[in-house]
Structure 1
Amino acid sequence: MPPSVSLPASWQYDVPTSGSTHLPPDAGYARALTNQGYGFEAAVADLIDNSIDAGADSVVVHFLRDSDRILSLLVLDNGHGMNDAELDQAMTVGRRRDYDGQALGMYGTGLKAASLSQARSLTVISRTKRSRATGRKLTAESIEDGFRCDTVEPGFAQQQIDTYDGLIEWHGTIVRWDHVRAFETVAPGQSEQFLSKAIAQLGMHLGLYLHRFLSNGLKLDIAVWDVSTGEEVDHNSVDPLDPFGYKVPGKAGYPKKFTAPVEGVGQVTLEAHIWPAKSNLAGFRQIGSIQDRQGFYFYRNDRLVQAGGWSNLRSPEGHLVLARIAVDLPSTPNEVFSLTVKKDGVEVTPAFTLGVEKATDESGTTFRAYLADAETAYREGASRSVIERAAVNEPGKGFDPKVKRAVREELPLKDDGPVRIDWVSLPDDRFFDLDRDNYVILLNRAFREDFNDGRRGGANDAPVTKTLLYLLLQDCFGLGRWERKRADRIEYWNSILLAAVHAQRERRNRLAS
């Protein structure tokens, strides 16, 4: 046992000091920035948080590609922009700016940490209504070189702004990642497949975590540009993916609002939902494992920061997969809720779980009774029979995201790859053709304007025509033998559709005259 030590009372709870020394961060801190544990989707979402804080109502995520290589990623917004001084502050490593109570930013590290965790080079170009285009470039090497930040050549900064003048007219910001690690690992010939999967996953993540903003008017798009041709080769709008977006609740009377007395915070509202059993809606099944998505959904200033989990209240259980609870975090700082730097989780103290155990709604119903209702809804739903539908190949590139989501919600999917649809040059006597080996529906480019009101369409144009053809033709892929009867069906469908498109063209010409 150590000898008894008698300390002055003032020393028991406070350690005295006798001076101080300023210790600037070591240049090796750059390596720490690249190892923050960000996933690709979470890193992009962090950039979009900055766009929203800057007042942007339109944001575009651009993948740049050249032939078969994926080159860069850009996040563009029409927010209020930054002048030289503000841009220097934003690019200063370790600097934390002041955030108002409604900001999505919190720690001041997201731009640098999120970007350098994914790419070896970060460039930010911006302009305001009152200042010219200006830019800064930061790399891990430049940080190690005495925290150096390079100034982008003014002519290039203006050229980048001019390239996106449809979005950035008077003010806005471009965040650009070059030498993206994930892109550099894509094997030759695999860029199309990589982009298709990456865009789908990114769209789902952004649609979920920003669903309240998207529902309230934020316009968010993901596009692919071919820099060699200057053409946009794919474009997808991100729609809200509401984790509480069912049409009819799994039990009458829900959702219910429970009030939890949380020491150190006060009254916390828990909006308790019960999903209908066996739902195929995207907000239930397409945001990850339904086992992992039960539990608490924490929001901070309308931004989802945790999608599921019981936060030490209990363990996930199969019979509670229909239970989801929305919790808006208090706007004032507190010791009960701690948000992770990546904004993908919330740490809570026991004060929260103790408060939840005591929560009741206005009629006196307990939170425990809610969990019992969710379990009952699950067990009753599990006993109902469901008509089995035949699996299909998922619609891929060329189909509007709303169509893709509807197919995923309504039908089971095969594992042998998506079906894509392209406008190509075909003989005059063909409305469509099939590339069965590569799972592609080929549409005759000569008729494209007929389905786009005389205008050149985008990558996901003519959604009704494309969807009808997909439904007709999806069973033509993945077959070992091409039957004569099936081939004949393709031939007479072509003849009838050609007659229809010519009739549509003649009608449009008559109306125009």
Structure 2
Amino acid sequence: MTNSKPPQLDSNTEIEKTIHLPPAETIQHALGANHDFCSGIDELVDNAIDAKANNVCIVLHVDKSRLTRVAIHDDGIGMSSTKMERVLRLGGHEAGSDSTIGIYGMGMKEGSYANADTVTVLSRQRGRFATGIRLQKESFTAGVLSQRSITALWNLRERIVELKRGTTILWDELIGAYQGADEKEAATFLSNTIEKLRKHLGIRYHRFLDTQQIRIRVFTNYDSETLVETPAVTAIDPCGYPRSADPKYPRRLTVDGKEQGLGITAHIWVNRSKLDAFQLEEKDELGHQGFFVYIADRLITQGGWCGFQEPRKDFKLLRVVIDDPRVVKKYITISPQKASVRLSEDFHRFIDSLRFVDDPTKSFDEVCTDAIAALRLSNKKSGKANPIAEGGQGLAPAVKDAIESEARIKTSEPVSVVWGDVYSDEFVEVDPTKSIIRVNKRYRKMLNPGRGTFNDAPLVKTLLYLLFNDAASSKRTAKSKANTALWSKLLTVAADEQLRQQERKSS
């Protein structure tokens, strides 16, 4: 059998002329196929951060409960009309630095066209007039706005963000927004969209939010009149656990264990946590294990092994942070949508070369072994304590975090411990219909002599939460009613006795 060779180019072939083959305008409809609402917003927030913005304000314009327009305002340095025309071309890109994330010049267009058929970009540099361009998905042409139109649209920023500089992007003729006739469904869609967006932004930009490099706010503008700010977008750190399941972690691993070598950081979470930082944007039975890759401090991947290895149940607590720019540059390629990565062929060898900085005899295999051991230990411990209801109002945040981290949580409403009127005049009463343990407020000063706060008397409230947890969160049986009555009576006697002792001391 003879080896067949591919045909060679004929060096004598002549090129008569060169023709230009521009893309058909229908390619615009393919842009953004890999984006959703949140990732589309990401592209604009990324650009705002690159433009040195301190504030990003996202306004959801609503008409009769239906989302009709999305406006994204920032107070960055803004763009000149020349620069705007340049960056709005497909593939148009400004050279960045290590602190910027743009690579392909497609992000703003892709993210916007995934969510809107009409996109308007307005920008102003300090000391100059604002400029504006409107893009249509149907063509490669763009409309330059008149100064009158620019002024009207620029004033949408009033009372929200600085008028003297920055960029505003408007999405109109929205794609994917609820268009039905049911007002309740429209309101539900809007509420879910806001909550999903707030959580997504809190995760992706948690490093910027945590260090207050940027503030991201979300507003709802109802019927062009009422502007309502939603709860603050706060940092959600995927490795922000109150404590690690293994006290030796987090651990830094570098090439050959050298202090300044290229490396990663390994984290081991506690099991069954209900914190947003563990569940991230949605609960995953495998625990969002894997690589958390950061590019210029933006979180790109929320776990997943990216082909390095298959997910395993016994790795569910393991998270590996890759944020060293040298590692990213050498071994990782980011997708155009900045939402996934591809590992190089050398990445496996890189991981094999890693050693603990504080113990160069140990490798990444030791990390996996520790993660498995932590999970097994937590599962072994879980059989020793009964599941309890989640902590609700009135408990100190630190106590609720500890409950999330340490306890097995049963499926029920959170149990709150609050001060209130107890008409039986006893120290405490339990309302299982509302999952509330109500403490008689006439004893409040005895337990908390200072100025009362919503989460005051943490020790007493936590003890009551534990004692009456089942009674407040489960179907009441004759036995549980009897126990509740007995315990409440004894606590009332003890509380009255403590009052008398305090009165004798003060007299």
* TM-score above 0.5, yes or no: yes
Give the Cα separation in 2 of the matches to 1:327 and 1:282: 21
The aligned runs of 1:101-500 (5 Å cut-off) are 101-141=98-138, 143=139, 147-166=140-159, 167-189=161-183, 190-217=185-212, 218-228=214-224, 230-260=225-255, 268-288=262-282, 289=284, 291=286, 293-330=288-325, 334=329, 336-362=331-357, 363-364=359-360, 365-385=362-382, 386-390=385-389
- Match for 1:100 among 90, 97, 100? 97
AA in 1 matched with 2:388:
R
1:306 aligned counterpart, secondary structure: coil
For 1:375 and 1:258, the matched residues in 2 are separated by 18
5+ residue gaps, structure 1? 396-401, 416-438, 440-462, 466-470, 480-513
SS state of the match for residue 73, structure 1?
Answer: strand
**Match of residue 24, structure 2, among 23, 26, 42:** 26
The residue identity in structure 1 corresponding to 2:29 is: R
Deviation, structure 1 residue 268: 3.0
Is the Cα–Cα contact under 8 Å of residues 271 and 327 in structure 1 kept in the other structure?
yes
Q: Hey, what's the Cα distance between the residues in 1 that align with 2:118 and 2:179?
A: 16
Equivalent residue, structure 2, for 1:55: 52
1:161-219 CA-to-partner distances (Å, cap 9, x unmatched) read: 23323412310111110111122445421222111111111111111111111112110
Give the CA deviation at 1:5.
5.7
Q: 1: CA distance between counterparts of 2:411 and 2:305? A: 30
1:243 match: secondary structure: coil
Shift of 1:4: 5.7
Secondary structure at the aligned position of 1:101 is classed as coil
Q: Are 1:80 and 2:73 counterparts?
A: no
Q: Please state whether the residue corresponding to 1:257 is helix, strand or coil.
A: strand
- Aligned residue identity for 1:148: T
Q: Is the 8 A contact 1:91 1:149 kept in 2?
A: no
Distance 1:322 1:6 in 2: 51
Whole-Å separation in 2 of the counterparts to 1:15 and 1:377: 69
Give the percent of matched residue pairs that are identical in Structure 1 and Structure 2.
Answer: 25
For the residues of structure 2 that align with 1:278 and 1:6, how far apart are their CA atoms? Answer: 58
Instruction: Give the greater-gyration-radius structure (CA).
Output: 2
SS at match of 2:191: helix
**Structure 1 residue 236 displacement after superposition:** 2.4
Deviation at 1:267, TM superposition (A): 5.1
Over aligned residues, Cα RMSD in angstroms? 3.5
Structure 2 residues without counterparts, runs of 5 or longer: 414-433, 435-452, 456-464, 466-470, 476-507
Letter in 1 for 2:306: S
TM-score (norm 1): 0.70
| Distance of aligned partners of 1:105 and 1:383 in 2 relative to their CA distance in 1, 3 Å threshold | same
User: 1:308/1:160 Cα in 2 relative to 1: closer, same or farther (>3 Å)?
Assistant: same
Check the 8 A contact 1:134/1:157 in 2, yes or no. Answer: yes
Q: Shift of residue 125 of structure 1? A: 1.1
- 1:447 alignment partner in structure 2: none
Task: Give me the whole-angstrom Cα distance separating, in 1, the residues matched to 2:344 and 2:90.
Answer: 30
Distance in 2 (CA, whole Å) between partners of 1:382 and 1:205 is 30
Residue pair 1:82, 1:126 contacting (<8 A) in 2 also: yes
Native 8 Å contact 2:286 2:316 kept in 1: yes
